[in-house]
Structure 1
Amino acid sequence: MSTKKITFIGAGNMAGAIFKGLLANGYPSDAITATAPDADHLQALKQSLNIHVTTDNLAAVADAEVIVLAVKPQVMQGVCREIASSVCRTRPLIISVAAGLQAETLNAWLGGEHAIIRCMPNTPSLVGAGASGLYALPSVQPEQRDFANQLLSGVGLAEWVDQESLLDVVTAISGSGPAYFFMIFEAMEKAAVEMGMPADAARRLILQTGLGAVRMAQETGEEPAQLKRNVMSPKGTTERAIHTFEAEGMDAMFLKAMQACADRADELARELAN
């Protein structure tokens, strides 16, 4: 990975996961700058990671080749307008990890004609097992796409989409998806306890089962439908459970929930743009 001067505007959990992933992969700490309003938090980062820190956004972006916008969507407009005059002179690559804010909205707030990549990461990025969707404006150069790809690959999987609207679907899949799995784990644990299993033992079995299922899906490359059939014996226990889920309309329920998620992501984008 080529070394570029990177500034993270915002040093919260998601930004921290990304620059810690960079450092873990050998990226030089003196090429990374992080900003935040909390000076104590920044000093703790400086001491533990040896990166540059400052509360001054303008100073931080002055010579940055890549800027990662990692502040809350509600304050993004103010941040963009603060640094717009500087980035219009230097034209760095802009990567946004803020949910809901469309690339052209950011482009307008920053003064226009920028190379902007939107990224939709998820919370497992915090443990190096993330799944991020990325979309690039046409102005982004191939080498800039490659850099962003390597940046996000440091915290997990990076998957590109060619339409920005598909980031709403990414939100419904991987952005919000961890909560779906946690809900399944929670429901299974409640059911196991109701059936007489101690909660701690049930949880260990459930989490290991989930981990094993994911590893099988990744390592075998088989389609989920086939993997499901591999577990099912005719007239057996798994078949009866699966038929119960099917009778309750599980596929339709997931479609309805994920569509509601994607619709809300689109609503938020329009609200934030206005």
Structure 2
Amino acid sequence: MRITFIGGGNMANAIIAGLIKQAAHRIHVVDPDAGKVERLRQEYDVSGGATLPDAFDIGDIVVLAVKPQHLRDLCLELEPRLNGALVISIAAGIRLDALCRWLGSKRVVRVMPNTPAMIGKGVSGLFASVGVSEDDRQDANTVMQAAGITLWLQNEQRIDDITAVSGSGPAYVFYFIESMIEAAQQTGFSEAEARRLVLATFEGAVELAKQSPLPVSALRTNVMSKGGTTERAIARFEAEGVKQAIIAGMLDCRDRSIEMGQQLSQD
């Protein structure tokens, strides 16, 4: 496939790294930051430059990987050059109707990825406009699977939902890791020891959850014994409303995603 990335930041870097392992794709990067382009050239042997190509071909794939506030102007600049190329947008918030309107095209896929894509462990939710064919879906899937797993969503509203779960989800996990590291240090472990212990604990717990047929609630109760140490910790979490705070925060995240989409998708 011939793929042009507009924007050479971390997410573009992550996807390119995966694509290079997949097959001999022809990859081009457009970014005004010459340093970013040069680093990508050296690391992945891709072509690149600061300006948009004069024209794309109907068989091309164009990945929009710029900040949402810059997307409208970029799309308007792309519109006369696009010539029916498939567009994949990984910019947060911008709705499909706005993208299609600005690009003058119905061949657009909207994606919500997350940062573990940077190590090939990402999760991406995808939703396609009405002009996207089954072959286009497969091509978009190929691009995003380079950075992790993909999930096609039934409607565009689900983009806001997946933002609250996996899009912003790594931050929730890092927050909990951060808290556990601080607690471990308060018990007397060094920062390095605390980090090692907590990260290994998370890694082991996640792997157990993946391999076990039991629901995670049962795995949790299996660690607890009546009147024991774990029960005391969970009792404090419950008393402090930790679970409800996490759920409420995720729903707030979804609401903010909806608000941002409404704001950023206006002409």
Q: TM-score, normalised by structure 2?
A: 0.93
- Is 1:103 matched up with 2:96? yes
Aligned to 1:238: 230
Question: Does the 8 A contact of 1:125 with 1:155 survive in 2?
Answer: yes
Q: Which runs of 4+ in 1 moved over 4 A?
A: none
Residues 199, 38 of structure 1: CA spacing in aligned structure 2 closer, same or farther, 3 A cutoff? closer
Partner of 1:28: 24
**Matched letter for residue 50 of structure 1:** D
Partner of 2:134: 142
Deviations 1:227-259 (A, max 9, x none): 212222233222222222122222211121111
CA distance in 2, matches of 1:117, 1:222: 36
- The corresponding residue for 1:39 is 34
1:104: Cα distance to partner?
Answer: 0.9
Q: In the TM superposition, what whole-angstrom CA distance separates every residue of 1:16-42 from its partner, at most 9, and x where no partner exists? A: 1101110022x215x111111123432
SS in 2 for 1:33: strand
The answer for unaligned runs of 5 or more in structure 1 is none
Shift of 1:125: 0.8
- Aligned residue pair count: 266
What's the CA shift string for 1:1-54, capped at 9, x where partnerless? xxx2111111111111101110022x215x111111123432332233221212
Which residue of 2 is the match for residue 265 of structure 1?
257
In the alignment, the residues of structure 2 paired with residue 233 and residue 135 of structure 1 have an alpha-carbon distance, to the nearest angstrom, of 45
| Displacement after TM superposition at 1:62 (Å) | 4.8
Matches within 5 A, 1:4-15: 4-15=1-12
Tell me which of 59, 74, 78 is aligned to 1:83: 78
Give the whole-Å Cα distance in 2 for the aligned partners of 1:253 and 1:217.
23
The answer to whether residue 124 in structure 2 is matched with residue 127 in structure 1 is no
Q: Distance in 1 between matches of 2:198 and 2:212?
A: 21
C-alpha change, 1:206 and 1:40, in structure 2 (3 Å) is closer
Letter in 1 for 2:43: S
- Aligned residue identity for 1:8: F
Instruction: Give 1:200's aligned residue.
Output: 192
TM-score, normalised to structure 1's length?
0.91
The CA deviation at 1:150 is 2.1
Which consecutive unaligned segments of at least 5 residues does structure 2 have? none
Conservation of the 8 A alpha-carbon contact between 2:57 and 2:84: no
SS of 1:61's partner is: coil
Aligned counterpart for 2:143 among listed residues 145, 151, 172: 151
Q: Is the 8 A contact 2:55 2:81 kept in 1?
A: no
Instruction: Indicate whether 1:226 and 2:221 are aligned.
Output: no
Identity of counterpart residues, as a percentage? 40
What is the letter of the counterpart of residue 139 of structure 2?
F
Change (3 A) 1:120 1:191: same
The Cα shift of 1:136 comes to 1.3
Q: Cα–Cα, structure 1 residues 188 and 7, in superposed 2: closer, same or farther, change >3 Å?
A: same
